[in-house]
């Protein structure tokens, strides 16, 4: 699995959350993560913060913030452990929210 993060410089709250999601996927699914601060030339309309998994843009259902469910839906067709990884990401989200409150 290859994750591409489009981040703002300096990274804000959503960027930090997306980075935490990517770190969790790297640890639990042996994903490779690449961070970009300059956008993607082939998709100039895509703005930071954003996450792509194997080149597919993960679209937030609420239009603003990626949730573990959004990432789980993206993984569902291609990764056999999508449900387990979604649970890992839910824990990651809870940890981030506790740290930031």
Nearest to 100 by CA among 69, 65, 75: 65
| pLDDT one-digit tens code per residue, 34-64 | 999 987 877 878 889 999 999 999 999 999 9
Q: How many CB atoms lie within 10 A of CB 73?
A: 15
Question: According to the CATH classification, is domain 2-100 in 1.10.287?
Answer: no
Kindly list the domain boundaries of the chain, sorted by start residue.
Answer: 2-100
State the pTM of this model: 0.93
């Amino acid at each position: 699995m290859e994750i591409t993060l489009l981040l703002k410089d300096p990274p804000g709250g959503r960027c930090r959350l997306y980075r935490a999601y990517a770190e969790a996927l790297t640890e639990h699914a042996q994903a490779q993560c690449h961070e970009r601060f300059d956008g993607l030339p082939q998709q100039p309309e895509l703005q930071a913060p954003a996450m792509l998994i194997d080149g597919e843009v993960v679209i937030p259902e609420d239009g603003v913030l990626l949730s573990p469910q959004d990432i789980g839906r993206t993984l569902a067709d291609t990764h056999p452990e999508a449900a387990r990884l979604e649970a890992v990401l839910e824990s990651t989200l809870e940890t981030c929210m506790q740290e930031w409150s």
